[in-house]
Each structure stands twice: as C-alpha cells, then as structure tokens.
Amino acid sequence: MLPLITVTFAAAPAQAQQYNTSAAADYAPVIRGFNVDEVRRLAPGVELNFDVYGTPGGRVYLQIAGANRNLQLTETDPGQYQGSYTISNRDRITQNSSVTANLRVGNQVTSGVLRESLIAGIGRHDARRRGDLAGGQPRIERFDVEGSDDLRPGDDLNFTLHGTPGAKVDMMIAGTRGVFFLPEVRPGDYEGSYIIRRGDRIAPNTVVTANMRLNGRVATQTLGKPLQLVSTAPVATPRVVRYCTNCATVEAINVIEVNGDGNYLGTIGGGVVGALLGSQVGGGNGKTAAQVVGALGGAYVGRNIERNARQTKHFEVVIRFSNGGSQTVQYANDPGLRVGEKVKINDGVLTRDT
C-alpha cells in the first residue's frame, strides 16, 4: 500500500528512527493510510500483514476484534509502520472483525479504522452502524486532483475534496494497494498528496473514488478528470535525456610497437664494415672466406640496427559505455589516462569527465 504523504521515502532497514518526538508532540499525529494483505481464509497459523502510514517517529498498536492480544507495528521507513499477526487457536477473528490502529506520538494519540475486510474478495466493511443514523446525508460538492506530467514513480498527485464538514474521507486509487485518507484541513475542505511508487499501475484514466462518511452514512464520488496533466504547448517539448550518451570508462590502454624496415643503405653499410673486419683475419682463401662471412653478417646486423632505430610506438585506449558498447581511440603519444577513469568522447577526442 502506498501512503498519502508529501515526502519521498528512501529504502532503509528496520531500525530506530531518528526523529524529534518532542517537536512532534506539539502537533496532533495523523494516520494517512491503513492496509491489510487480505487472505483467503481465517484459520490458526494464517498471518495477517498490516501497513499503517502516518506521522513518523511514533508507536502504532492494532486492536483486532476477536483477537486475544494486540499487535505493535514496527516503523520500517519514516512514517511507515508494518507488522504481522499470526492467528492462534484461541482467536475468534471473522471476516467482519474490525481492526483499529492507534498511533501515539509523544502524549497524543490518533486512531484509524481499517475499511477493508480481512478476507479477499469481500471488499470494504459496511460503513452503516445500526442505531447511529442521526443527521443528514453527507455531501461531496467537489473532488479534484492536480495531476502529474507523466505519472512516473516519485511524482505527486495532489487531491482536494470539498463537502460536508466534520466527516471522514477515504480514497481508493485503482492500480494501488489499500485505502487512503484525506484529512480535513479546514471545515469542509479535505486535502492529501499521493506519491506514485514503483509497484503502482496508474494510467491517465485510472479510476479514483472518494468516500465521505458521517453519522453512519456514506457519500461516494468518482474523480471526473485524468490524473495526467495535459500540455497546452503547441509543439511537444523533446524529452530531456537523463543519461550521458558520450560518457564512458577507460577499460584498457594498449601500447602498440611498430618496427621499421631497414633499407639498402643499412644493409650495404653493415656489409662493408663486416668485410673490412673479415679482411683482418687469416690469409689466402681463408682470408677471402672471412671477408665473405663478415660481409653477410655485417649486412644482417646493419639491417637490424636500422630497423630498431626506425621502431615506433602508439597507444590504443579502449573505452566502455554504460550501455555495454565499446570504442577504441588511437594516440601517437601517451594520452596520460588511467584504467577505470571516467571520460567523455567528442569527435574522437577523449577528455576527463569532471
């Protein structure tokens, strides 16, 4: 179930909440939502899972008609309280058992009654109470919403309702879990905000129903406008790209060595030097052989010396984009980058992403 609150909850493990309860004690606590995961049958061993949304930093206790004990809920996120009740053999819980949540902050307590049945498919409890039908029929005069641009998770839907003062107003949004409350902010004016969450299935034409309850009577009205704001601009504004298309991470830096080819000058020069050295060895035919061997060896050495002298290096930088693609950028000299560094590429040139 999703809360009718004006703050976005961040996922956090269940722990003691850091909240100024002394400051909260100056204001009356509010329950904005109350939900149960409906079950197929009520029998010993079956768990009933409850959620209550309201003022953070408090303590929530549930009273279930027919149960032998009360249930304390744990604040898992600021303003979100959760807990499970396991039915025992001594419990006498039925599909019509009322469930009351009491939220205490400081010395102040507020209560809310679960509008849903504990059994799946039964729907909500009948709001009429026998012997308590005094007064006139409650009346809803206006039910409105300030919609969202695109109905994404985290967007606000701000609801307002005007009608009979002093009533209790709850609201159901198709595609969400639970029943939510609109508190009375001024006599006859009821307001509340709903934050869309990831598990919702909300469309522009989603049905939203408000129920006003007073003296055992109920007035119901369905929202008559879409939840998504309609743009009045003559030309649709292009959607802003929310990710960097030219941002990447340096995945590898490869040094490529290229050997130059020795030309005829190095070969001839080396051969001449080798022949001269060979002429200093032996005499007669032996001297001639030494000259030939020296010339050949010198030519080989001279060619290799020139090849090494012509050796060059260049650098290949491999980058990886967030979508999984990769690209290789070549540099004649060391680019001065490191593996793992964040970069941007523009026209084949890499720059550090600052």
Given a contact cutoff of 8 angstroms between Cβ atoms, the answer to whether 38 and 61 are in contact is no
According to the model, what pLDDT value does residue 24 have?
A: 46
Q: Angle, nearest 10°, between helix axes 284-309 and 264-278?
A: 150
Among 122-136, 137-151, 198-212, 275-289, name the one with the lowest average pLDDT.
122-136
- pLDDT at residue 246, as a whole number: 83
pLDDT for 202 equals 92
Contact 251/339 with Cβ under 8 angstroms?
Answer: yes
- Residue bearing the bigger pLDDT, 249 or 127: 249
Prediction pTM value = 0.44
The number of C-alpha atoms within 13 Å of 272 and in the hemisphere containing its C-beta is 5
Q: Residue 21: its pLDDT value, please? A: 46
In this prediction, residue 2 carries a pLDDT of 43
pLDDT at 14 over 90: no
Does residue 335 carry a pLDDT above 90?
Answer: no
Token couple for 114: 């679960």
285 phi, psi to nearest 5 deg: -65, -35
pLDDT at 45 over 80: yes
Nearest residue to 265 via CA among 223, 313, 231, 299: 299
When pLDDT is averaged across residues 197-223 and rounded to a whole number, the result is: 89
pLDDT one-digit tens code per residue, 238-294: 655 556 778 889 998 888 876 655 555 555 555 555 555 555 555 555 555 555 555
**54 has pLDDT over 90:** no
Segment holding 290, helix H or strand E: helix 284-309
**pLDDT for 48:** 94
Domains of the chain: 31-114 (2.60.40.10), 140-222 (2.60.40), 244-258+310-353 (2.40.50)
What pLDDT digit, counting tens, does each position of 235-254 carry? 555 655 556 778 889 998 88
Residue 95 has pLDDT above 90, yes or no: no
Per residue in 60-91, pLDDT (tens digit) is 999 999 999 999 999 988 888 999 999 999 99
Q: Is the pLDDT of residue 128 over 70?
A: no
Q: What is the separation, in whole angstroms, between the first and last Cα of the chain?
A: 41
- Of the two residues 215 and 141, the one the predictor is more confident about is 141
Q: How confident is the model at residue 124 (pLDDT cuts 50, 70, 90)?
A: low
340-348 average pLDDT score: 87
- What is the predicted pLDDT for the residue at 232? 54
Band of residue 295 on the pLDDT scale cut at 50, 70, 90: low
Average pLDDT, the chain: 77
| Contact between residue 304 and residue 259 where contact means Cβ atoms under 8 Å apart | no
User: For 9-23, 189-203, 238-252, 337-351, which range has the lowest pLDDT when averaged over its residues?
Assistant: 9-23
pLDDT at residue 196, as a whole number: 84
Indicate if the pLDDT at residue 330 is higher than 70: yes
CA 73 – CA 50 distance, rounded (Å): 8
- What confidence tens digit (pLDDT) does each residue in 156-189 have? 899 999 999 988 888 889 988 777 888 888 899 9
User: Could you tell me the CA-to-CA distances from 326 to 27, 75, 353 in Å, in that order?
Assistant: 57, 46, 17
pLDDT at 311: 66
Q: What is the pLDDT of residue 15?
A: 42
Task: Give the pLDDT band of residue 125 (cuts 50, 70, 90).
Answer: low
DSSP 25-41: TTS---EEEEEE--BS-
Q: Tell me the pLDDT tens digit for each residue of 299-324.
A: 565 666 666 666 677 889 898 887 77
